[in-house]
């Protein structure tokens, strides 16, 4: 069964359909050695070779790619790339292994930020959720050091000129604290690099801790330990797909294999996380 080339590549996580269409028009995509044109349909088989800018892309047959979504509690010190030449731990290290697809991160968090990260096997869903035009809310709990007053809060919500353009929090809520250390919950609708930290720094205060606690209507699951993950059910997947204009046609998520069930038990997750952190630390010290 053939499908449009841009649909196949978007589902496999190589960009949105629009982005891939632009690459096809620029002559950057080929199938079995032939430069593709917009509108080409492809039947994905084991022998099919699809190249993007000369690089062969791993493509999985559509019936083997269930739509799955994970909520992961990122730890400070982890980076959001698949591999790191310096040997630092990555957010992909402890995700459940996949045999016929791969996990695609929905956005990123910087190395010093912890909290909620979403992963999916659906490339088009990931790219739509990350696109700024969707204006999906991201909520962070931020512990700041310094004086904050009402004029400062007003400035943060009305907009501040950063080096990459105007930015603002949609909402700022006081979360408690004493002395010069206070917690504030802040909400953004885009995911620029270190945007929360840069906004606070623009009014002269420093962020000492930053935790993402919500993405859209999905909150960091209660009881989920740092470094643990939880797979989302079909109703949550339907919510995310509807949020970005995709059909709610998912009837099976292959929720979890038996050998992966150990990750749901908090005590075992904590032990696994502790072992992994100790192992990663030893490995990093050896390399440096």
Q: Which residues are catalytic?
A: 110
Residue closest to 134 by CA, chosen among 156, 160, 107:
107
Q: Name the one residue in this structure whose structure tokens are 């009402």.
A: 150
Contact indicator for 17, 123 with CB cutoff of 8 Å: no
Residue closest to 56 by CA, chosen among 92, 81, 31:
31
Instruction: Tell me how far CA of residue 269 lies from CA of 3, 80, 223, in angstroms.
Output: 40, 20, 11
First to last CA, the chain: 51
- How far apart (Å, rounded) are the C-alpha atoms in residues 163 and 203? 14
- How far apart (Å, rounded) are the C-alpha atoms in residues 67 and 251? 9
- How far apart (Å, rounded) are the C-alpha atoms in residues 151 and 174? 14
- How far apart (Å, rounded) are the C-alpha atoms in residues 252 and 233? 9
- How far apart (Å, rounded) are the C-alpha atoms in residues 196 and 190? 10
> Is the four-CA dihedral 262, 264, 268, 272 of positive or negative sign?
positive
CB within 8 Å of 71: residues ≥ 6 apart: 116, 117, 118, 218, 220, 221, 224, 229, 230, 231, 232
């Amino acid at each position: 069964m053939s499908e449009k080339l841009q649909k196949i590549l978007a589902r496999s996580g190589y960009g949105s359909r629009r982005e891939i269409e632009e690459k096809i028009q620029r002559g950057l995509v080929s199938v079995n050695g032939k430069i593709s044109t917009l509108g080409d349909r492809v039947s994905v088989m084991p022998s099919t070779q699809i190249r993007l800018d000369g690089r062969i892309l791993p493509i999985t047959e559509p019936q083997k790619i269930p739509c799955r979504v994970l909520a992961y509690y990122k730890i400070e010190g982890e980076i959001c790339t698949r591999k790191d030449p310096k040997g630092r731990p990555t957010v992909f290290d402890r995700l459940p292994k996949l045999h016929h697809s791969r996990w695609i991160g929905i956005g990123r968090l910087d190395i010093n930020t912890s909290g909620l990260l979403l992963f999916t096997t659906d490339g088009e869903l990931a790219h739509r959720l990350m696109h700024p035009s969707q204006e999906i809310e991201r909520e962070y709990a931020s512990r700041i050091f310094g004086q904050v007053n009402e004029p400062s809060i007003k400035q943060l919500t009305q907009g501040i000129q950063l080096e990459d353009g105007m930015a603002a929090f949609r909402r700022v809520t006081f979360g408690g604290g004493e002395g010069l250390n206070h917690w504030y919950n802040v909400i953004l609708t885009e995911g620029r690099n270190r945007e929360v930290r840069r906004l606070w720094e623009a009014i002269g205060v420093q962020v000492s801790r930053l935790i993402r606690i919500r993405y859209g209507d999905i909150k960091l699951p209660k009881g989920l330990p740092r470094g643990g993950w939880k797979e989302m059910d079909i109703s949550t997947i339907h919510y995310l797909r509807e949020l970005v204009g995709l059909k709610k046609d998912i009837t099976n998520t292959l929720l979890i294999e038996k050998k992966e069930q150990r990750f749901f038990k908090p005590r075992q997750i904590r032990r696994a996380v502790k072992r992994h952190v100790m192992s990663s630390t030893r490995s990093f010290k050896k390399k440096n």
